[in-house]
Amino acid sequence: MTITLKSKTILITGATSGIGKETAIGLAELGATIVFTARDKQKAKSTKKEIIEKTGNKNIDHIECDLSSFASIRNFCKEYKSRYKKLHILINNAGVWNFKRKQSIDGIENTFHVNYLAPFLMTNLLLDTIKKSAPARIINVSSGLHRGTINFDDIEFKKSFSSMKAYSQSKLALILFTRRLAKKLEGTKVTVNSVHPGFIATDLGRDAGQITNKFFRLFGKSPKKGAETSIYLASSPEVETVTGEYFVNKKMTQSSKKSYDMDLAKRLWSVSKKYTGINKR
């Protein structure tokens, strides 16, 4: 069966490099209107040009957004809603792996902010538009490294920072968010699933020093391969009604035991509301 996404509007965060860019190219090839976030104007322009050249699809747009600022996310959502009435597929792809503790523009530990609080806020702010566009899909790019727990006593690792623990926590948080949101969206024809893209040769290890960066480059699979599961979840009729699940290599897969703990998910939701200032239940 030939899949076409000609009538669909898709928003992808972090499409200026790596997996996000290949996801945008793959979905543009299927005819969708692609909107992507970018924090750097030059990178945004060259990414748009590259997607159009590679796919022949001219319906490519970008809107400025720095995911480490809640104000920037709020401005982005306002701008998105002024330009587009529909949002059929939201792909929360952008992410960082900070090897040293860094604070976001809002002064929050940056991994927690960009990888988790940003998609939490953006999704909630766009939910009215997504619901109006149903059937619709939300895809959260997590990681196979989502192990461990949510460190509620020191969620921003102020006392002692571990880059691995901060990254794992942010990715576990994204899966817990996925499962709780799926419950809240029952009956709306909006699905939400999470993804592990594989070990992929991208810029994710950019601030880890040359050795780690080289390790990613030498042993990782191609970004095109890394985009496959997100593209599958965005486009395949097979998963139209599947929700609250975790996918690896285009297959529904068990995630960690903790990621099924709905009490943890509920507590995290309430902490996230306080951080982001949203009023949803």
Ligand X SMILES: NC(=O)c1ccc[n+]([C@@H]2O[C@H](COP(=O)([O-])OP(=O)(O)OC[C@H]3O[C@@H](n4cnc5c(N)ncnc54)[C@H](OP(=O)(O)O)[C@@H]3O)[C@@H](O)[C@H]2O)c1
3-state DSSP assignment of residue 101: coil
Query: Quick check: 140 and 192 in contact, CB under 8 A?
Result: yes
> CB neighbours (10 Å) of residue 207?
15
- Binders in 169-228 for ligand X, by CB under 6 A: 196-197, 199-200, 202-204, 220
Nearer to ligand X, 135 or 209 (CB): 209
Tell me how far, at minimum, the Cβ of 186 lies from ligand X, in Å. Answer: 26
Query: Quick check: 138 and 190 in contact, CB under 8 A?
Result: yes
**Binding to ligand X by residue 24, rule CB under 6 A?**
no
Nearer to ligand X, 133 or 247 (CB): 247
| Identified binder of ligand X from the candidate list 11, 14, 60, 136, rule CB under 6 A | 14
- Burial of 32-45, coded b for 16+ CB within 10 Å and e otherwise, reads bbbbbbbbeeeebe
Q: Using CB under 6 A, which of the segments 62-70, 148-156, 238-246, 254-262 binds ligand X?
A: 62-70
Active site residue 84: no
Q: Using CB under 6 A, which of the segments 61-69, 83-91, 180-188, 269-277 binds ligand X?
A: 61-69
What separation in angstroms does the CA of 157 have from each of 17, 106, 110, 137, 208? Answer: 28, 16, 11, 32, 18
Nearer to ligand X, 40 or 154 (CB): 40
Residue tagged active-site, from 80, 167, 232, 275: 167
Q: Which residues participate in catalysis according to the annotation? A: 167
